[in-house]
């Protein structure tokens, strides 16, 4: 069961894990970002999305954005003591806890995601691929989603619709681009331990083929 989903938007940031403080995007959408987009349209514990191919329809363009951000995160310890009725300052002062960070992001992105899903052992007895397929088809046709999907960061919303044509005109029809080692996805199967996995990304004729790619841990 495979679907073809056209996604487009003004900006995207698929951040490289090795360049995190000053964020820098990968040149194309990562498989995990594609999965995130599909997950926010439809997901169920009984299924797992597998992106097969990512077609790049617009040329890769970058832009730079620097923003004021806060340094800290909510500390569970402070919350707990506040929950116990202790007087603790439960907020972040954005003016003293400030940090300016730049982000190199993609501009005017347009992709087609080819993906399929597998059933998992968490599926209910009444679930079957046909049922999930129908739900997904209806959601995409109506533009429905669990939450608005996004390109890497929530401020970069995704517009989506079904891709109907057989032919997909990519921005790089006769080129092979070596994109280097790229994040494949996060591996959640080991309890409490989340490990990233990587693969060697090659954009061939504007298509990132994820089938049979070797994944490194």
Q: Under the rule (CB under 8 A), what is the footprint of other proteins? A: 10-11, 63-70, 73-77, 79-95, 100, 102, 107, 139, 142-148, 150, 154-157, 159-161
Closest approach of Cβ 181 to other proteins, in Å?
26
Closest approach of Cβ 66 to other proteins, in Å?
4
Residue whose CB is less far from other proteins, 117 or 156: 156
Residue whose CB is less far from other proteins, 80 or 204: 80
8 A C-beta contact, residue 55 and residue 22: no
Q: Which of 78, 72, 70, 67 is nearest to 94 (CA)?
A: 70
Closest approach of Cβ 191 to other proteins, in Å?
11
Closest approach of Cβ 210 to other proteins, in Å?
25
Closest approach of Cβ 118 to other proteins, in Å?
23
Residue whose CB is less far from other proteins, 122 or 154: 154
Residue whose CB is less far from other proteins, 83 or 215: 83
- DSSP H or E run through 35: helix 31-41
The alpha carbon torsion through 13, 110, 53, 154 (nearest 10 deg) reads 30
Q: How wide is the angle at C-alpha 157 spanned by C-alphas 67 and 204, nearest 5°?
A: 100
Q: Which residue has the tokens 């005017």?
A: 108
Closest approach of Cβ 85 to other proteins, in Å?
5
Residue whose CB is less far from other proteins, 68 or 124: 68
Residue whose CB is less far from other proteins, 13 or 207: 13
Give the DSSP per-residue string, 134-176. HHHHHHHHHT--SS--BSSSTTSB-EEEE---S----S-TT-E
Residues 178, 204: Cα–Cα separation, whole Å: 8
Q: Which of 209, 202, 46 is nearest to 135 (CA)?
A: 46
């Amino acid at each position: 069961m495979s679907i073809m989903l056209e996604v487009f938007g003004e900006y995207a940031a698929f951040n490289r894990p090795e360049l995190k403080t000053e964020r820098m995007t990968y040149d194309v959408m990562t498989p995990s970002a594609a999965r995130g987009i599909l997950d926010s349209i439809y997901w169920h514990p009984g299924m797992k999305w597998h992106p097969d191919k990512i077609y790049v329809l617009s040329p890769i363009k970058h832009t730079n954005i620097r923003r004021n951000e806060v340094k800290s995160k909510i500390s569970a310890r402070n919350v707990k003591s506040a929950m116990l009725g202790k007087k603790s300052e439960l907020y972040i002062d954005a003016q003293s806890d400030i940090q300016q960070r730049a982000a190199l992001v993609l501009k005017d992105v347009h992709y087609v995601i080819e993906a399929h899903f597998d059933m998992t052992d968490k599926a209910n007895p009444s679930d079957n691929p046909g049922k999930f397929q129908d739900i997904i088809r209806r959601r995409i046709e109506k533009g429905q989603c669990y939450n608005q999907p996004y390109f890497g960061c929530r401020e970069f919303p995704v517009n989506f619709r079904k891709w109907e044509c057989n032919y997909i005109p990519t921005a790089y029809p006769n080129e092979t681009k070596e994109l280097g080692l790229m994040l494949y996805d996060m591996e959640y199967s080991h309890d409490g331990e989340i490990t990233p996995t990587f693969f060697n990304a090659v954009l061939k004729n504007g298509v990132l083929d994820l089938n049979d790619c070797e994944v490194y841990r």
